[in-house]
Amino acid sequence: MNEKPKLEATTLWDYPTQSYGETPKGDNKYPGVTPAFIIYNLLQRYTKPGDLVVDPMCGSGTTIDVCKEEKRRVIGYDIAPVRTDIIQNDSRNIPLDDNSVDMIFIDSPYSDNIHYNEHPDCIGKISCEEEKFYDELEKVIKECLRILKPGKVLGWLIGDQWVKKRFTPVGFKIYQRLCKYFDTVDIVCVVRRGQTSNTALWYHRALKFNFFLRGFKYLFIMRKPDDKESKEENRKIEWTRYERK
């Protein structure tokens, strides 16, 4: 099947498969792999051919594959690359100029529930029950603000956690951090189909022990403000970067 995915018109997105088309996009066996349809929809709405798209936590390279097919320039970074076209880099310090990127997409860890790699600095090794988790992701948010052009869009995919009878609203906590720097375009719910708990056994456990399985992730679509306040915030972030050196 070589048909293009449909463009979504509502805020509920549901994809039966991870990829589409005849060429693979990412690796559906990679832990927490991103559905390629999400990136396709964001590209069609918020970019044009030739625009530069950046994925600071590129994982198995889904963003790279979709962007290349859709004729967008793309840079994919990851702290532990699994492909030669992904650049090794920590997303808390992105080596790009200020105001140089047309769109950013991030599918970040939402706790330490998935083993991504062995790198000791991986944010996915920090529990979302610790404030440090959000502090570290806020550093990524600030870098995204710095490199993104004013008026351009950041898409951030994130899920919540329910572990050992405790719910953590990870999405709301990340959204609060994002709102410190970005304006909200919209919030999309993406149906989760590929998680390991999507089985009859877990369904019956959820009913028996009175808890809910995670059914969706949030896609926060945020826009960098195009005003004097944004420029002032960029100067503060740049000064912070200078002090860290």
Cα 46 to chain centroid distance, Å, stands at: 16
Encode pLDDT of 81-114 as tens digits: 999 999 999 999 999 999 999 999 999 998 888 7
Domain 12-244 has CATH 3.40.309.10: no
> Rounded CA gap, 196 and 2, in Å?
28
What pLDDT is stored for residue 30 in this prediction? Answer: 84
User: What are the angstrom distances between the C-alpha of 200 and each of 29, 160, 204, 218?
Assistant: 21, 21, 6, 24
User: What is the pLDDT of the chain when averaged over all its residues?
Assistant: 90
Percent of the chain with pLDDT strictly greater than 90: 65
What pLDDT is stored for residue 84 in this prediction? Answer: 97
| Mean pLDDT for the stretch of residues 64-84 | 97
pLDDT range class, residue 202, cuts 50, 70, 90: confident
Instruction: Find all residues with CB under 8 Å of 23, minimum gap 6, and list them.
Output: 65, 69
Is the pLDDT at 186 greater than 60? The verdict is: yes
Of residues 33 and 174, the one with the higher pLDDT is: 174
> Rounded CA gap, 227 and 205, in Å?
51
Encode pLDDT of 9-22 as tens digits: 999 999 988 899 88
Angular region, 32: left φ>0, alpha ψ -120 to 50, beta rest:
left
> Rounded CA gap, 100 and 119, in Å?
28
**Sign of the C-alpha dihedral computed for residues 38, 40, 45 and 48 taken in this order:** positive
Tell me if 161 sits within 8 A of 110, measured CB to CB.
Answer: yes
pLDDT range class, residue 201, cuts 50, 70, 90: confident
DSSP helix, strand, coil percent of the chain (3-state; round to 5) = 30, 20, 45
| DSSP category for residue 178 | H
What pLDDT is stored for residue 116 in this prediction? Answer: 84
> Rounded CA gap, 49 and 95, in Å?
23
> Rounded CA gap, 60 and 25, in Å?
9
**Range in 130-144, 152-166, 219-233 the model is least confident about:** 219-233
| Mean pLDDT for the stretch of residues 182-208 | 84
- Count the neighbouring beta carbons within 10 Å of the beta carbon of residue 3: 7
Cα 152 to chain centroid distance, Å, stands at: 16
Name the phi and psi angles at 87, rounded to 5.
-85, 135
Would strands 73-78 and 52-55 be described as parallel, antiparallel, or unpaired? Answer: parallel
| Mean pLDDT for the stretch of residues 166-193 | 95
| DSSP category for residue 132 | H
